[in-house]
């Protein structure tokens, strides 16, 4: 994923009293902005002072969200340049990044929804790679962060802390991840050396398509269908991947 891409974001729909998964543009555009280009400067939002910064304070109060990912990348400086690393949960589950979202209306009258990912000081693991890390929220924090349960400013700020190092892992990855042009569709990726492969999308454990250990996240997408996310185990072949 890259800035300005439309990515799946989990929000709480107060009227429907349920969570929804919607595509929002990465790079928060404040409602008062005159130009959408300001979103490039608001890809991330620092947890420190987030409640007072003009671009984020209203969203922090009213429009919080979760950004589901299986990992994120950081670059470590080396003697020859920078080496990208993937960072994930130790159990390889789907992680929920803390985010903020906003509505913005263009001069042409078109509405655009966008979001930012919140960062904080790094834990010991991420600190070896970068001086910041994304805020990862544990499942028990989701209701308060989404607004399903009441929480005051202090309670919300207390959630924006580094995720424990012993609950995360990291590994070096290809330099290709640093180029937004390398956006290979998952169906074209080969499962070499019986490697793991991640699937995030629509699956049906009772239907005809394979159900490969997908985890129900509890979100409701288009047409009220449940959304599952899962990690395919080792040994699955390309033919099976094409069936998903």
> How many domains are contained in the chain?
2
Q: With pLDDT > 90 as the criterion, what percentage of the chain qualifies?
A: 63
With respect to residue 173, please indicate whether it lies within any of the assigned structural domains: no
With respect to residue 48, please indicate whether it lies within any of the assigned structural domains: yes
What's the average model confidence in pLDDT over 224-235?
39
Q: For the segment 99-110, what is each residue's pLDDT rounded down to a tens digit? A: 999 999 998 899
With respect to residue 84, please indicate whether it lies within any of the assigned structural domains: no
On whether both 30 and 116 belong to a single domain, the answer is: yes
Tell me what pLDDT residue 223 has: 39
Residue 52 neighbours by CB under 8 Å, 6+ apart: none
Q: For the segment 4-30, what is each residue's pLDDT rounded down to a tens digit? A: 899 999 999 999 999 999 999 999 999
Contacts by 34-41 with C-beta closer than 8 Å and gap 24+?
36/104, 36/106, 36/112, 39/3, 39/4, 39/114, 40/3, 40/4
> What is the pTM assigned to this prediction?
0.75
Q: For the segment 171-213, what is each residue's pLDDT rounded down to a tens digit? A: 998 887 777 666 544 332 333 333 333 333 333 333 333 333 3
Tell me what pLDDT residue 3 has: 82
Q: Indicate the average pLDDT of the chain.
A: 79
| Domain containing residue 106: CATH number | 3.90.1680.10
Tell me what pLDDT residue 232 has: 37
| pLDDT band for position 128 (cuts 50, 70, 90) | very high
Closest to 100 (Cα-Cα) out of 161, 39, 151: 39
Q: Which domain holds residue 146?
A: 6-69+94-164
On whether both 47 and 107 belong to a single domain, the answer is: yes
On whether both 10 and 40 belong to a single domain, the answer is: yes
51 vs 202: CA distance, rounded Å: 36
Of 164, 196, 226, the domain-final residue: 164
On whether both 152 and 239 belong to a single domain, the answer is: no
Tell me what pLDDT residue 129 has: 95
On whether both 42 and 100 belong to a single domain, the answer is: yes
Tell me what pLDDT residue 215 has: 39
């Amino acid at each position: 994923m890259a800035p300005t891409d439309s990515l799946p974001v989990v929000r709480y729909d107060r009227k429907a009293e349920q969570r929804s998964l919607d595509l929002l543009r990465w790079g928060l555009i404040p409602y008062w902005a005159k130009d959408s280009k300001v979103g490039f400067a608001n890809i991330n939002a620092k947890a420190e002072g987030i409640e007072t910064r003009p671009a984020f304070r209203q969203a922090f109060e009213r429009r919080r969200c979760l950004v589901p990912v299986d990992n994120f990348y950081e670059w470590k400086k080396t003697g020859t340049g920078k080496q990208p690393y993937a960072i994930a949960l130790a159990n390889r589950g789907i992680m929920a990044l803390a985010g903020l979202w906003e509505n913005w209306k263009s001069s042409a009258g078109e509405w655009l929804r966008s979001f930012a990912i919140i960062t904080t000081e790094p834990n010991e693991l991420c600190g070896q790679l970068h001086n910041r890390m994304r805020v990862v929220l544990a499942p028990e924090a989701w209701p308060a962060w989404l607004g399903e349960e009441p929480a005051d400013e202090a309670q919300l700020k207390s959630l924006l802390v580094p995720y424990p190092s012993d609950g995360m892992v990291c590994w070096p990855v290809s330099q290709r991840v640093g180029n937004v042009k390398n956006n290979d569709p998952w169906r074209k990726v080969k499962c070499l050396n019986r490697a793991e492969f991640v699937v995030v999308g629509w699956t049906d454990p009772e239907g005809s398509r394979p159900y490969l250990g997908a985890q129900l996240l509890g979100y409701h997408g288009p047409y009220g269908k449940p959304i599952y996310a899962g990690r395919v185990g080792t040994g699955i072949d390309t033919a099976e991947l094409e069936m998903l």
